[in-house]
Structure 1
Amino acid sequence: MNASLTLLVLCAVMFGSGVYVMLERSLTRVLIGFLLVGNAVNILIFIMSGAPGLGPILGAGVDPDDISDPLPQAFILTAIVINLGVTAFMLALIYRSWWLAQLGDEGDLVDDESDDEIEAGRAADIVRSAAQDDDAIQQIIDASDEEPEEVEHR
């Protein structure tokens, strides 16, 4: 196995700077550090994958020792997808944190008071309409308890 010294140095610098930046308090810097460490892991997997070789397809006249291992490529692809998902989650956290910081002491309750007044009005309307429905039903029951009038049949 012959790893490039340039890739090793790049990997070490990315790991070191990523961990250093992740120790900051700002979520944006944590995200940048996470991206650096994620890319450093991809380079490390690439370095550890061994010497390049032929495509991983066995055919006639192909020596299995000359074929490159496809597993590190799958690991790198999986790491990229996971890195993208965690980055999207971190961006959502950063946005939510920024939004709550802009609201100040009121926090997440800014629109809740007006919503509560609207909901209270709707609840009162529902109670009123239910009471009117109950009165109408009671009138129908009272009317049905009275003696029925004779209806002329033709």
Structure 2
Amino acid sequence: MLEFILERGNYWAIIGLMMIGLYTLFAATNLIKRLVGLSIFQTSIILFYISLSRIDGGTAPILYGKDAKGHGGGHGEEAAAGYGADAASAASDAAHGAADAAHGAASHGFEHVYSNPLPHVLMLTAIVVGVATLAVGLAIVVRIREAYGTIEADEIRDMDLDVALAQYAEDHPGEANPA
């Protein structure tokens, strides 16, 4: 049991980061702290996908050695056609998961096991989206600070409630206050 836990240390770290991010996102009243929690959570998800895409003994998907010679390893049109077929094969293998991809590489006669780069590329996109989300969130926090004079969610909520009650009293003179 201890070996099972220790072999998956990266997943335990990811779970820890995920819980820290979620707790900060929900428990903090400061808007910047909430954005930090969101960033920690996004980072844990990215680390999770990268950990899932790892293949034991896998190398970069660049054919070399006997693999390159047997599958269009020369320069020119034959090589391009071979690489196109390998790309189609790799895309097919990616749809069946990492374990099937490793088996598919062996069944196609490859000498080496190659890692699928698609999850890494998708996570690069997720990183860019995460940075853009954080930038927009910080810009909104700046505007909230200018409008309310604070970035504490409780204080902002109280100010909005006071304004709403004052507006209701103005619109409905002589009626009881709904709060």
Please state which band the TM-score falls in when normalised by the shorter chain.
Answer: 0.5 to 0.7
Residue 167 of structure 2: aligned partner: none
Residue 24 of structure 2: aligned partner: 21
- CA distances 1:2-31 after superposition (whole Å, capped 9, x unpaired): 995221111001110111111133211210
Hey, what's the Cα distance between the residues in 2 that align with 1:102 and 1:30? 18
The residue matched to 2:38 in structure 1 has which SS?
A: helix
2:121 to 50, 65, 74: 74
Residue 91 of structure 1: aligned partner: 138
RMSD: 2.6
Residue 72 of structure 2: aligned partner: none
Is contact 1:58–1:64 with CA below 8 Å preserved after alignment?
no
Amino acid at match of 1:13: G
Aligned pair count? 104
Scaled by the length of structure 1, the TM-score of the pair is: 0.59
The unaligned stretches of length 5 or more in structure 2 are 68-109, 151-158, 160-179
> Highest CA radius of gyration, 1 or 2?
1
Is contact 1:42–1:79 with CA below 8 Å preserved after alignment?
yes
Hey, what's the Cα distance between the residues in 2 that align with 1:45 and 1:97? 34
Residue 13 of structure 2: aligned partner: 10
Return closer, same or farther for 1:16/1:78 CA change in 2, 3 Å cut-off.
Answer: same
Q: What's the % identity of the aligned pairs?
A: 22
Hey, what's the Cα distance between the residues in 2 that align with 1:97 and 1:64? 59
Is contact 2:59–2:112 with CA below 8 Å preserved after alignment?
no
Amino acid at match of 1:30: R
Q: CA deviation at 1:56?
A: 0.9
Amino acid at match of 1:100: A
Residue 58 of structure 1: aligned partner: 63
- Runs of 4 or more, structure 1, over 6 Å off, are none
Return closer, same or farther for 1:16/1:64 CA change in 2, 3 Å cut-off.
Answer: farther
Scaled by the length of structure 2, the TM-score of the pair is: 0.52
Q: CA deviation at 1:60?
A: 4.9
- CA distances 1:69-89 after superposition (whole Å, capped 9, x unpaired): 101110110111010000100
